[in-house]
Structure 1
Amino acid sequence: MKCNANTKITGCKLILVPYEKEHVLRYHEWMKSEELQTLTASEPLNLEEEYQMQQSWREDDNKCTFIVLDKEKYEENGNNEIDGMVGDVNLFLNDEDNPSTAEIEIMIAEPAARGKGLGKEAVYCMMRYGIEELKLTHITAKIGYSNKPSIKMFMNIGFQEISRSDVFEEITFKLNLTEDRKERIKACSAPYRIDRYR
């Protein structure tokens, strides 16, 4: 998404940066994992296709993608983004009838980074970005039946199940961004800072 191309978000345990060309090789290595392909309902791409995907997502006004950096690893390695990469988080504005609704996706690809709260913080930071910068009023999430950790996390955040698809074996959850909910998201994403990226 062009609007986040120069945006860097710093939280407590993480930093979110735009998905750039230099991130593609590491991302491509992640997506060779059959487990991640299943959890994200993704098809494997070759490296050239992955570069094309990165470029098309960057230009697409309906896809807002950030790479999740583990702040501690990033800083330990001299602010090296590749060494700090642990996953990605996305907002898809794919409801033409309601531009204030987006679908959120989170992937913590590095096994060693899971269970540390990075996924939850990334979701809170991305929702706050969606509220403050994209003026969202509703957020949905589609999660596979087998992805129990994500189902539990989204329900703990306050998302409610609205439908199930046995064909795609996924549950659709929704969060209405009421004023109370916005205040909670703001509190749960602190500290939160937006800076210019590069």
Structure 2
Amino acid sequence: MLLENDHIYLGPVKEAEFSEVSDWYRHETLVRRLNARPYYFETEVEIKKWWESEKHTSYKFGIRMKDSHKLIGFVVLDGILWNQRNGWISIAIGESSEWGKGYGKEAMECCLHYAFDELNLHRIQLTVFSYNEPAIRLYAALGFTKEGSYREFIERDGKHYDMHLYGLLRREWKSLHLSS
């Protein structure tokens, strides 16, 4: 199935679940991995407004466990330039109890499959902070190539860190998945 993998599937987030997503933003580690702004809380209203925005240039999916249908995170394709067939991808496993179990990789595989095979995109890109080592390992395992760095882009706890740009081309994705 297009948006399904071994343990997870991608689908909509229900209106009643926006409060749960908002709760994830209370976890400092998650927030600091997602963006460069100072640590803050996202309200349920702000989450809902973001989720419902940019419907013609973004695809937002909740990540759910197949066995329980529990919402554990989200993955987003956005910033799509249809004439260039390029887009951005981002992911968050909000449930910290599910970190490190491979669900992020499964969700990214589903979303990349959707991006390249359903939307016919040519290139997917993302940025990641240099201190987010789990994400960097994930992106390498998925076949992304590090294309450059914004040096000392972010300061956290008195130290400067780079922000890396990673990209994945459709032919690279196909090559990896035809050989496996």
Contact 1:127 1:185 in 2 (8 A): no
Contact 2:21 2:44 in 1 (8 A): no
**What's the counterpart of residue 58 of structure 2?**
63
Provide the TM-score with structure 2 as the length reference.
0.83
Q: What does 1:161-180 align with in structure 2 at a 5 Å threshold?
A: 161-165=146-150, 166-168=152-154, 169-178=162-171
Q: Distance in 2 between matches of 1:181 and 1:116?
A: 22
SS in 2 for 1:49: helix
Tell me the CA shift for residue 51 of structure 1: 2.3
Between the aligned residues of both structures, percent identity stands at: 21
Q: Distance in 1 between matches of 2:59 and 2:179?
A: 22
SS in 1 for 2:56: coil
**What's the counterpart of residue 141 of structure 1?**
126
Confirm or deny that 1:54 pairs with 2:39.
no
- Two-structure CA RMSD over aligned residues (Å): 2.3
Tell me the CA shift for residue 33 of structure 1: 1.6
Contact 1:86 1:110 in 2 (8 A): yes
**What's the counterpart of residue 12 of structure 1?**
6
Decide which structure has greater helix share.
Answer: 1
Select 1:116's aligned residue among 89, 98, 101. 101
Q: Give the gaps of 5 or more residues in structure 2.
A: 155-161
Provide the TM-score with structure 1 as the length reference.
0.76
**What's the counterpart of residue 158 of structure 2?**
none
Aligned residue type for 2:120: K
Q: Distance in 2 between matches of 1:159 and 1:96?
A: 21
RCO greater where, 1 or 2, for CA within 8 Å and sep 6 or more? 1
SS in 1 for 2:67: helix
Tell me the CA shift for residue 173 of structure 1: 0.4
Tell me the CA shift for residue 185 of structure 1: 3.8
